[in-house]
Chain A
Amino acid sequence: MSAVTPLGLKFDHISHGYDIGGSLLPVLENVSLNIAPGEFVALLGPSGCGKSTLLRLAAGLETPGKGQVLADTQPITAPGPDRILVFQEATLFPWRTVRGNVQAGPEARGELTGKTDRVDEALRLVGLENFGEAWPHQLSGGMAQRAAIARALVNDPRLLLLDEPLGKLDSLTRLNLQKDLIRLWQDRGFTAILVTHDVEEALLLADRVILFSPRPAQIVEELLVDRPHPRRRDDPALIALRGRLLARLGVLEDV
Chain B
Amino acid sequence: MSDISERGQGHYASADVVPFQIWRGGLWAALSWGSASAVTWFLPDVIQWGATGGFAILTGVIALVFLALAFLVTPARNPGLVHYGPWFIVLGLWLLIWEVVTAKLGWLPKPFFSPPQGLLHVYLSDWDRLLLCIAYTGRLWGLGFFFGISVGFLAGIGLGWSKRFAYWGMPFLKLIGPVPASAWIPCAFFVFPTTFQASVFLVALASGIPVAILTASGISQVSRSYYDVARTLGAGNRWQVTKIAIPAALPNVFVGLFMGLYYSFAVLVVAEMLGAKFGLGWYLQFNTAYSAYANVYAGLLIMALLCAGLVRLLFVIRDRLLGWQKGIV
Interface residues of A, count at CB 8 A: 27
Interface of chain A, main secondary structure: loop
- CB contacts (< 8 Å) of A94 on chain B: these are 324-325
Is there an interface contact between B233 and A137, defined as CB atoms closer than 8 Å? no
Q: Is A104 interfacial (CB-CB < 8 Å)? A: yes
- CB contacts (< 8 Å) of A108 on chain B: these are 230, 233-236, 239, 243
Q: Which residue of B lies closest to A104 (CB)?
A: B233
- CB contacts (< 8 Å) of B229 on chain A: these are 85, 87, 91, 93, 104, 151
Instruction: Give the complex CA separation of A85 and B325 in angstroms.
Output: 25
Is there an interface contact between B228 and A61, defined as CB atoms closer than 8 Å? yes
Instruction: Give the complex CA separation of A44 and B238 in angstroms.
Output: 37
Which parts of A82-106 form the interface with B (CB within 8 Å)? 83-85, 87, 89, 91, 93-97, 104-105
Closest beta carbon of chain B to A71's beta carbon, Å? 13
Q: Which residue of A lies closest to B234 (CB)?
A: A81
Instruction: Give the complex CA separation of A61 and B229 in angstroms.
Output: 10
Q: Is B226 interfacial (CB-CB < 8 Å)? A: yes
Q: Is A216 interfacial (CB-CB < 8 Å)? A: no
Closest beta carbon of chain A to B229's beta carbon, Å? 5
Instruction: Give the complex CA separation of A153 and B247 in angstroms.
Output: 24
Instruction: Give the complex CA separation of A89 and B224 in angstroms.
Output: 13
Given A94-B324, A137-B324, A84-B248 contact (CB < 8 Å)? no
Instruction: Give the complex CA separation of A108 and B232 in angstroms.
Output: 11
- CB contacts (< 8 Å) of B324 on chain A: these are 94-97, 135-137
Instruction: Give the complex CA separation of A137 and B323 in angstroms.
Output: 11
- CB contacts (< 8 Å) of A135 on chain B: these are 323-324
Q: Is A68 interfacial (CB-CB < 8 Å)? A: no
Is there an interface contact between A93 and B232, defined as CB atoms closer than 8 Å? no
Selected from A91, A95, A96, the residue in CB contact (under 8 A) with B225 is: A91
Instruction: Give the complex CA separation of A111 and B322 in angstroms.
Output: 27
Size class of the B contact interface (CB-based, 8 Å): 20 to 34
Q: Is A167 interfacial (CB-CB < 8 Å)? A: no
Is there an interface contact between A85 and B247, defined as CB atoms closer than 8 Å? no
Closest beta carbon of chain A to B251's beta carbon, Å? 9
Is there an interface contact between A91 and B233, defined as CB atoms closer than 8 Å? no
Closest beta carbon of chain A to B135's beta carbon, Å? 37
Given A79-B234, A104-B233, A151-B233, A85-B239 contact (CB < 8 Å)? no
Q: Is A80 interfacial (CB-CB < 8 Å)? A: yes
Is there an interface contact between B234 and A155, defined as CB atoms closer than 8 Å? yes
Q: Is B110 interfacial (CB-CB < 8 Å)? A: no
Is there an interface contact between A84 and B325, defined as CB atoms closer than 8 Å? no
Q: Which residue of A lies closest to B228 (CB)?
A: A61
- CB contacts (< 8 Å) of B173 on chain A: these are none
Is there an interface contact between A155 and B233, defined as CB atoms closer than 8 Å? yes
Closest beta carbon of chain B to A149's beta carbon, Å? 13
Is there an interface contact between B233 and A81, defined as CB atoms closer than 8 Å? yes
In order of increasing CB-CB distance, the 7 nearest A-B pairs are: A108-B235, A105-B233, A81-B234, A95-B247, A137-B326, A79-B231, A108-B239
- Which A residues contact B (CB, under 8 angstroms)? 59-61, 79-81, 83-85, 87, 89, 91, 93-97, 104-105, 107-109, 135-137, 151, 155
**New contact pairs (10) apart from A79-B232, A95-B248, A105-B233, CB-CB < 8 Å:** A61-B232, A84-B233, A94-B324, A94-B325, A95-B250, A108-B233, A108-B234, A108-B243, A135-B323, A151-B233
